[in-house]
Structures are given as C-alpha cells and as structure tokens.
Structure 1
Amino acid sequence: MQGVFITIEGVEGSGKSTQLLRLSERLRHVGLPLVVSKEPGGTALGRELRRLLLERHTSGERWCAEAELLLFYADRAQHLETVIRPSLAEGKVVLVDRFEDSTRAYQGASGVPESSMDRLNELVLRGLKPHLTVMLDMDPEASLQRVEVRNLALGADFAETRFDEAELEFHRRVRNRFLAIAQNHANRVALIPARDTPDQVEAAIWQRVAPLLRNAGFGVD
C-alpha cells in the first residue's frame, strides 16, 4: 500500500490548526497509520530554524528575502529526508501543516522571484508533490481579526509569529497567491471556504480526503 501525502494550507487565522487537529483525530479514530508534522519545525533542525524564521528578529538586522528563502528550504530538505519520504515509503498517511505552497505564497509575496523557488524546488523536492492540498480560504480582513482575538487571549503583547504583524496589503498578496495556486493546480488543491462553521469546514475537507484514502486502499467510511 502506498502512502498518502496531504498538506493543509491557508492564510493566517483561517482555522488551519483547528482543522488539522480535527482531521488527525478522525484518521486516528479509524485506525490509519498516521504521521502529523509541520513546516517549519517538523524535525529537530526544523525547530531551530522555526525559531529563527517565525519569531521577531531581536538583533534588529533585516534579513534579505533570499536568505530567508534558503532557511525555509533547508527545513524542507531535512523534513523530507527524515520524516516525509520514509513515512510514505512505509505506507503511512502523512499530514503536514504548511508545505511548498506556503513558500510560494509568503516568500513570493515578499518579492522572491518564482525562478528562485523553482530551482530550489527541483533540488529539494525532486518531483514529490502532495496527493491532496487542503487550502482554507478567507479574506485577510476577517482572518486577521481572528488572529487579533487569538493573540489577545494569549496576552496583549503576544504574536504567534512575526507574520501576524505584517501589513494588511502583504496578507492580501499572500491570499492572491494562494488563490492562483489553487486555480493552476485544481487537480491537487481543494479550496475550502474558511468562514463557514468549523463543522462545515471539517465536513468539506472530509469529502475530499475520504475518496483519496479509499482509492489508496485505506478503509474509511
């Protein structure tokens, strides 16, 4: 039985973490061999890189976009080598919070040329693509309101990642790039409206995930 590779993508505040948890619990409930991971941060090296990439830059030094891009791909290379590829070879379902599409959306919105990402993609991924990408879509104005409520609940000065603090126009560019990815890769990407209730979003995701798993030989209802 071949493994199945599923990624979950979306703008900040789209409910990605909630839906990842719900889907993983559902897959565990039916007894599937499951690996749940994330980018950046799915390995020991990745956790160090995540701290560098997502926290506020306390040194005050402004990173160039290319340096940041290379760190994201360093995380991905280690993640693929030590987690994703071995798990797929063992016939497991691999569920990952953010992958290549996030790099295309966020670093692309920061001005990194597509050609630079294409070259690194070829080097690191070597043709590997998710079987399904669940992309949660929401307008940035509403999604950032969710982020603000979440961060206030955690502490008035708390921001989960430095991307939470980016300007609205940046988040609009990110969303537009996600939408373009969904349009250009409709066979792989399931674009799910994220402003529906969590139960409705969960049901829409399962409608796309269940047939994929059945076709791969996993017994699910």
Structure 2
Amino acid sequence: MRGVFITIEGVEGSGKSTQLLRLSERLRHLGLPLVVSKEPGGTALGRELRRLLLERHASGETWCADAELLLFYADRAQHLETVIRPALAEGKVVLVDRFEDSTRAYQGASGVPEAALDRLSELVLRGLRPSLTVVLDMDPELSLQRVEVRNLSLGAEFAETRFDNAALEFHRKVRNRFLAIAQSHPGRVALVPARDPVDQVEAAIWARVAPLLRSAGFGVD
C-alpha cells in the first residue's frame, strides 16, 4: 500500500465528527489526495447495512450478537474492497470515521468472544491495519450528556445511533476496551483527551498526523 490510512475512534459524543471534519478540511487545504469515509455505511450497500444495524426497528426485534457482528464485517469487507484498498493503492490519504477498533470495542463490550473477532478480522482485513488510529477519550458520563444535548437540539428522530440509548455501564465497557486497545498498540494508536477545548484536541491530532504524512512523502508543514 502506498497511501496513508487514518481512522478516528471514540465513544458516542466524543467529538469524532467535528475532528474528522477539521482534519479533512486541513488535508484538502494542503491539496492532498484524500478519501473520507465511515463505517458502517461507506458504500451504497453499506448505507443499507447501516440502516439495518443502527436504526431502531418498528418490530422491536434486535439483532443477536452473532448476526450483528457478521453484518458489521460484511459492511467492512465491501468498504475495503471498493473504497479503502483502491484508494490506498492510488497513493491517497484515507480518513475513516470508525473501523476495526470500534467493532472490537462495541461488539466486544456486548459479549462477543475475542476469538470470534480475531477470526473475522483475519478473514476480512487480511493484515491491513490503519497507519494511525486516533482514539478520542472521554468519560462516558460526560460524553452521554453531550449526546443528550445534541439529540435534543436535532430532535429525537435524528438520534445518531441506537447505541446512544445503551446503558451507562455498556458505554463504560466500550471506553475501557478502547483504552486497552490503545495500551496494546501504542505505535499505532494515539489516545487524545476529548474533553479538552476543540482547538486543543485538533492540535493534538495534527501533532500525530503531520509526521506520519511527512514520512509517507506528503509535503506538509
């Protein structure tokens, strides 16, 4: 792969969307060849899967853990095949809102065994890992307050995902899994405090992104 693959991760309400937008705008301003995407939903078929996975169903039925896991990896397989791998092969910077680490954090917090995650990861990723993963870290109590304010301002029907309303203990498990991932992969994962001022968070992210881009041959200041 000749491109640079960057993922943004974190708990609900940690400011991922804001920071991804700021970083993508900076990269575009620098004139870098850029692809911005997300999971689930980074392809046309993936958008259908996103609706099935994240919206509340009128029937009240919920996915069992295994079915949910397979749908997330189906979305990822399509995304990798049609968006991520081709863009990297063309030497582009690929910036993605959520990837493999979110699956390990959220589905792992739901009780999916690590062995199942490892098997599917090996099958779908085939060794591909992000060049850099930014994990925006925040106490779930504060992050869920942010989510509540956001949803009140937008209207309940615009709540981002069904995970917004999961129990606080679930969000604590998710955060702890992100922290464990960061500890296990210090060379790849940058853990950034997300409760700091937005400009400060942006600067901390850029401090990790800029050297990576320079080392890959992209001219950045």
TM-score w.r.t. the length of structure 2 is 0.98
Question: What percentage of residue pairs aligned between the two structures are identical?
Answer: 88
Offset at residue 57 of structure 1 (A) = 2.2
The equivalent residue for 2:134 is 134
1:159–1:165: 8 Å Cα contact kept in structure 2?
A: no
Mapped partners of 1:62, 1:92: distance in 2: 38
Mapped partners of 2:156, 2:66: distance in 1: 32
Residue 190 (structure 2) pairs with residue 190 (structure 1)? yes
The equivalent residue for 1:102 is 102
The equivalent residue for 1:217 is 217
> Aligned ranges for residues 27-176 of structure 1 at < 5 Å?
27-156=27-156, 158-176=158-176
Offset at residue 146 of structure 1 (A) = 0.3
| CA RMSD of superposed structures (Å) | 1.0
1:65–1:110: 8 Å Cα contact kept in structure 2?
A: yes
Aligned amino acid, residue 65 of structure 1: A
Mapped partners of 2:4, 2:87: distance in 1: 9
TM-score w.r.t. the length of structure 1 is 0.98
Secondary structure of 1:187 counterpart: coil
**1:29-64 superposed Cα distances (whole Å, 9 cap, x missing partner):** 000000000000000110000000010122222321
Offset at residue 159 of structure 1 (A) = 2.0
- Equivalenced residue count is 221
Mapped partners of 1:57, 1:95: distance in 2: 30
Q: 1:215 to 1:48 in 2, by over 3 A?
A: same
**1:149-191 superposed Cα distances (whole Å, 9 cap, x missing partner):** 0000001554221000100000000000000000000100000
Mapped partners of 2:70, 2:29: distance in 1: 38
Mapped partners of 1:34, 1:158: distance in 2: 28
* Structure 1 gaps, min length 5: none
